[in-house]
Copies of this chain bind each other. A is one copy, B any other.
Amino acid sequence: MATAVSPLAPERFPDLPPIAGVTFATAAAGIRYKGRTDVLLLKLAEGTAAAGVYTRSKCPSAPVDWCRKALPGGVARGLVVNSGNANAFTGKTGAEAVKLTADIAAKALGCKPSEIFLASTGVIGEPLDATKFGGVLDECAARAAEGPWIEPAKAIMTTDTYPKGATAKATIGGVEVTINGIAKGAGMIAPDMATMLSFIFTDAPIAAEALQAMLSRSVKTSFNAITVDSDTSTSDTLMLFATGAAEARGCPRVTEASDRRLAGFRKALDTVLLDLAHQVVKDGEGARHFIGVTVEGAVSATSAKRIAKSIADSPLVKTAVAGADANWGRVVMAVGKAGEPADRDRLAIWFGPHRVAVNGARDGDYDEATVSEYMKGQDIDIRVDIGLGNGKAKVWTCDLTKEYVEINGDYRS
């Protein structure tokens, strides 16, 4: 199993300031790992609004079922996340474990179980013993504090090689608000799942419906625009919580996502989500290259995104980048298999600043040595102009290396 920190990791965990209305503590509940924290209890001030986006899997985990049911209330008082066991494909016992966890957390925080949100990541198909949370969550509630934010980022890791956090400021009605986010990504060991979890917090006073609208929009160009290996977890969870504490400092309460005063907030939210999404890709199993795929000139933005995903998911494109091979033939192949409108003879393809193909054939000025030099870099940009319309999209992925196969193909026994 590879345990070295990804070569694409940021230099350090960023400084995340406190968010008024958010306190937390982590603990070692012994769910699966030894000698590390594996549970996070996060307290949210009364009046906190919640928004969420969950996995599209038709076989979601028990905590995802729970969150989907609790979300329409739009009210959150607590969040419990554990690593080591995903509580996925665990049948009725899974649903019971979720209920017991929410009951324990609600008692510890003095709220209703339906105001508790839950996420689990780790081994699939193993019953989760929620009684282990008994004393632990009480104790966490007692010592919950405003920082440091690296602790929750660490507690939710499975085999991520580094903790992931991001922060941004915005003003609403002239008052500064903060957005903090943490995430865990696609590091995994058999038989764990590459569950993506991310939790975003703000002190801005924004109503749940507006939060949800902004989150659903922002996720399209961030977490829903990344792919490590095209596989979808049973447990993917992204949530955004707004404590509203900034209202006490004069920040106006906003209820509509279309409110112009949210322009800066929307931008800051986009920044935090994209930053975290990129960090997840950069910690993809065995990742050695960070790849941006831009498709323009498609018949629509949806079509552009499908083509970009087809390129980013192609094992042949990903292995070519791993081998620093400017293999634009495989990019043509991936455009062709996307099933979207494309005209071979109008295609143009760039690797970074170098146009390698144009009008459906190799660029006359193509110089293999120059392009090969570019492919040796860590950040690779692939751009395709379909030449049919104005549809544009960008997605991000990592390369497919022997280390990916090693990490995911190691004998369990």
| A interface list, Cβ under 8 A from B | 55-60, 88-91, 93-94, 123-126, 190-191, 193-194, 229-234, 313-316, 319-320, 322-330, 332-342, 344-345, 347, 357, 359-362, 368-369, 372, 399-402, 404-406, 408-413
Contact = CB atoms under 8 A, between A and B. Distances in A.
A412 B329 CA distance: 13
Given A190-B320, A325-B411, A231 B341 contact: no
- How would you classify the secondary structure of chain A's contact residues: helix, strand, loop or mixed? loop
Given A58-B338, A93-B361, A339-B58, A332 B125 contact: yes
A409 B190 contact: no
B408 A57 contact: no
Nearest to A338: B58
Nearest to A93: B361
Nearest to A317: B231
Nearest to A195: B333
A223 to B, nearest CB: 15
Contact of A59 (B88, B89, B332, B409): B332
B408 A315 contact: yes
26 contacts: A58-B340, A58-B341, A88-B329, A89-B361, A91-B359, A91-B361, A124-B329, A125-B362, A190-B327, A191-B320, A191-B330, A193-B330, A194-B316, A230-B315, A231-B315, A234-B336, A315-B400, A319-B405, A322-B405, A323-B408, A323-B410, A325-B409, A325-B412, A326-B412, A402-B402, A402-B406
Contact of A329 (B193, B320, B323, B342): B193
Q: How many protomers of this protein does the assembly include?
A: 2
Contacts of A234: 332-333, 336
Contacts of A316: 194, 229, 231, 408
Indicate the member of A55, A313, A315, A413 with the most B CB atoms within 10 Å: A315
A58 B342 contact: yes
Contacts of A323: 190, 408-412
A319 B404 contact: yes
A311 to B, nearest CB: 11
A307 to B, nearest CB: 9
A329 B91 CA distance: 13
Contacts of A344: 58-60, 89
Contacts of A315: 229-231, 315, 400, 404, 408
Nearest to A95: B345
Contact of A328 (B125, B320, B340, B359): B125
Contacts of A230: 230, 313-315
Contact of A336 (B58, B229, B322, B369): B58
B405 A402 contact: yes
A79 to B, nearest CB: 24
B412 A405 contact: no
A360 B88 CA distance: 9
